[in-house]
Structure 1
Amino acid sequence: MPFPIVRKNGIPLYIQVKEAVLAEIKGGVWKAGDKLPTERELSEKLKVSRNTVSQAYQELEAEGVLSSVQGRGTFVCDRDDAVRIENRKDLLLKIIDVAMEEGLQLGFSLEEFVELTSIRAQEKLDFLSQVRVLFIECNREQVDYFAKRLQFDAGLSITPLVLEDFKQNREEMMPLVIAADLVITTFFHYDEVKELLGVRKNVLAIALDPQLETIVRIARVPAGRKIGLVCKSDNFAGKVLLALKNAGLDGIDIKTFTLKSEIDLAEVIPQLDVIIVSPGRRREVESFTNRRQEIIEFVYKPDVASINLLRAALIDIRRQ
């Protein structure tokens, strides 16, 4: 059954793919346990990029509709699986129950179990407050933004480092790398960072996806509006334009500006109807806008799987 993909209706392609997959599941075409086409197969069938299908599958997996099994493929979750994925608290309680039963079989009382788990959790919290994490990315906007956003309640401190700065000042920056317990980067730069650091450090890759609300707001901008992208670097601008292209919005005319002086900003911004802005420049841009202009902050966020992987990796760190 063909998917109703429409390229010129303003709705991002990956959202259309997501909704179409949901419709197939609700209509009974794909049932619980069925294996879906691979990203490559579906992208070829729909004549869209593989990234478009990947984004749709990731959204559905995060919502508990699909389940991905490495080496086997992507499957439709049954209803019980979806409930378990969404209700993480119940799943955690089951894990605690199993641990309690194991503890009782080892001869510990419930009071001792409560005391030991409390002590152990506090030890982990104290440890995380001392863990040193380095986040390496290719542009200043993302590296600063995510160094702040990836903080955890335990008081974890993340040091941001721009990839180009590291390559140009390697000897000066190397002490930061040596001192770090864990290095984080994105999948896009994983191989490069791994090669630069060699075997000396554990490098963890995370996936960053454009926030859905951001894409939808841009898709809904009426035709004829003058749109500008204001950010700090050409690198970030290129990533934004690529993300919009992958979402099927490459037909929108967007002018990019990496202006640094307030005089230049004051001259350019009043000429725009819609300003897409990187997180690092929003406040600066707002001072030159009026109420009739729309500001859209282009936000990337780590996917759920990456955050969970990062949390697990931090807990499992073994210092030398």
Structure 2
Amino acid sequence: MIRPSLTLLNKFSYTPGPSRYGIYPLLPPSLAMTSYPPIRPVPDSIPRPEYVPSNFFTADWGEHDAVDMKEADAEQIELGGEGEKRVREVAGMARDVLKEVGKLITPGMTTNELDKVVNDLIVSKGAYPSPLGYSNYPRSCTTSINNVIAHGIPDDRPLHPEDIINIDLTLFCKGYHGDTSATFLLPEVDEQGRDLVEATKEALEVGIKACKPGRKYKDIGKEIEEFAKRHGFSVNGQFSGHGIGNVFHRPPWIFHCRNDEPGEMVPGDCFTIEPCLVQGRNSRGKLWDDGWTMVTESGARSAQFEHQVLITENGVDVLTRI
């Protein structure tokens, strides 16, 4: 695809990032979305998670029914049972969708176009895109670019050759959720950006190695933070991994920095590990007015990778490994 013109990019406030963190487009608060195009269709035949308002696809924006988001307790998957079979299958579906989407990321493509691909691939599998309608979220995935830590809303900004982009997707099928994410490199990302992405990918593996029956949940964050510091990065503590299965988000909460979260892993635990590493020492984020997009306070870049894991009798299985 042809490199997008600077005229088009300037419409979206193309500004180089701070030089100490490299050269890349900063995403400014002016990109925060306050109104949204029509919600992508999902056939009525595909079951929705219970948190999706019944009028989500028919009401005008902002007029959706409120849904009581009930606090869920921790729950183990019955190993060897139908639940384990389904959660493995659905996590594998999420993995396959992310793999296909990753092949299509090119300069000039918009994140709205990527969101449509995600939506259509998920629906083609007879599944529902879990983010769509979660607390009235208006899209089928999140797309977080450069200084966006997490929860970027797909829009019409064209991807720049110097961008890094995280795509986080979850799908719901047969009563279970499958959740995964990865950060992708556009062709002209500088060395500092590539180092960040590679370190974040490795940090996820460090967290996975801390998993087995009897290990404490807080051990995951301790190992990840120590690794990140050794490589000159900080870890954002405002987002966590979470238990997942027939509920999208539930305990245990998996923090990726040092923490005092109680409890230890037992066979049947199914949860995500999804560290966000940030360039420099300030990992804090600030929220845009859209209520979703979290960007770094420093303007530094952030990267994220995520796997869904299942604790077994002997260790851990990574359900979304490509």
Tell me if both proteins adopt one fold, taking TM over 0.5 as the criterion: no
Structure number, greater radius of gyration: 1
TM-score normalised by structure 2 residue count: 0.26
Q: Which is strand-richer, 1 or 2? A: 2
Which has the bigger relative contact order, CA under 8 A and spacing at least 6?
Answer: 2
TM-score normalised by structure 1 residue count: 0.26
